Amino acid sequence: MKAYNFLAFDLGATSGRSVLLTLQDGKFEMREITRFPNAVMELHGKYYWDIFALYKSLKQGLCTCAKENIPIDSIGIDTWGVDFAYIGKGGSILGLPRAYRDPYTHGMEEAYFKKVARKEVYERTGIQIMNFNSLFQLYAAKQEEYEPLENAEEILFMPDALSYMLTGKRICEYTDASTSQILNPVTKQFETRLLEAAGVSPSLLRDVVMPGTYIGELTDAIAQETGIGKVPVIAVTGHDTAAAVVAVPSVDPEFAYLSSGTWSLMGIEVEEPIITDESYEMNFTNEGGIEGTTRFLKNITGMWLLEQCRKEWEKAGRIYSYSQIVEMGESAKPFRCFVNPDDPVFANPSSMLKAIAGYCKTTGQFVPVTDADFVRCIFESLALRYNEVICMLKKLAPFTIKKLHVIGGGSRNKLLNQFTANAIGMPVVAGPSEATAIGNGLVQARSAGIVTSRWEMRQLVVNSIPTETFLPQAQELWREAYTRYDKIVNQQVYK
């Protein structure tokens, strides 16, 4: 069988990569070609993504492939959700895209609900209410009289904006658009009423296309500049979690997944959206998946807490490897303090260490002292939060959940995987860690006709990537810990 080379551009909130997936004889191999930083940029109190730096980094990945004489069959791009670029009437990108951590959306959801009721917004979109969703970003921009919005002909979500920069062709990919809180998950069309209530023209958004759609070839200028030639660009599962779920190594549809990274996304894959009074009260979301499926999930603040602590430690001259951090977590005394990772105080604090310490003090708990104390607090709190969410999922899922697949970078954290198994009381299957890039590449393979379904894609993952299973331990201790956690973060007995 011919070897196929698919180039996956996988962009996260803190870094991006170009990854080569080579598929041959029913298996694939992966190789990281380039890695580059990505970060929110603050300017005059507003927060942006430097899309032009990202564009330059994508071209560098193409240049590297050309220099190494790697023939590329196609290219795909996945990113985080909700954020977008404004496109002017002449096709220019109007300024830098605003970042979802920009405080301009604070309180905007409640202001918007005076125009359209909260429950109606949920019933029309099935999306978890979060202040930074695209709908509320557009409403906030309208209230600001934000100049790029005032002059925009169209908006393009982040993966679509980057593919537009590479090809000159504009599309609106389904999975990323589904995170916006504007798309109806049943009709798969944008809700004009919601846009009009925000004071925004529905013409800003075009009809969605499904993952696997051909966008176009690289522009002549990029093909020549990079030396890579006229390579086709495919609309993959543009939202990174959708890409990661493609790569869940399961041949059984009755699974739950946890895509673990800066954010932790816990959910199930279903054929139809779940929009009920219970899902509304529990604030679950219905996002788009491969083959028109629904990713029924909840967003959980994940390794963001640890990432921000590490930045502070590094500034103080304490630089820890990931293995050292795991050892620190193992060495610290257990069950001394817990936090709710999704408390607004942890969204974007000036000091994460102070935010965690302040939360523990306010709730009458032990206040972390050593760096190891902070690590243990974060890992235990995440595991207990995962148990809280999976208990909700069990009530809403149309099937019995028997195991949890942990995918993404966090799947390499053996201590957190074991804590999670202990907390949820069921097996945790860890891997692949590169699920997002794998899913990106496999959707390109499906577009090329090499595989025909998501189950064939997942069988390729099973054939190619080893996993590790963690079984529950110390069940009674973790049940007692969860009872304490629940009182602290939900019943607020100390507040």
Give me the active site residues, please.
240
Residue 392 CB: number of other CB atoms within 10 A? 18
Closest by CA position to 286, among listed 398, 137, 173, 181: 181
CA–CA distance, 441 with 5 (Å, rounded to integer) = 9
CA–CA distance, 47 with 44 (Å, rounded to integer) = 8
DSSP string, 188-247: -SB-HHHHHHTT--GGGSPPPB-TTEEEEEPPHHHHHHHS--S-EEEE---BHHHHHHHT
φ/ψ (deg, to 5) at 310: -60, -40
What lies within 8 Å, CB to CB, of 364 at 6+ separation is 494
Cβ proximity of 121 and 181 under 8 Å = yes
Burial of residue 60 (number of CB atoms within 10 Å: 0-12, 13-18, 19+): middle
Closest by CA position to 410, among listed 433, 442, 391: 433
Closest by CA position to 444, among listed 4, 1, 3: 4
The H or E element containing residue 441 is: helix 435-447
φ/ψ (deg, to 5) at 22: -105, 120
Cβ proximity of 6 and 20 under 8 Å = yes
Buried/exposed code over 434-456 (b: 16+ C-beta within 10 A; e: otherwise): bbbbbbbbbbbbbbbebbeebee
SS3 81: coil
Cβ proximity of 264 and 420 under 8 Å = no
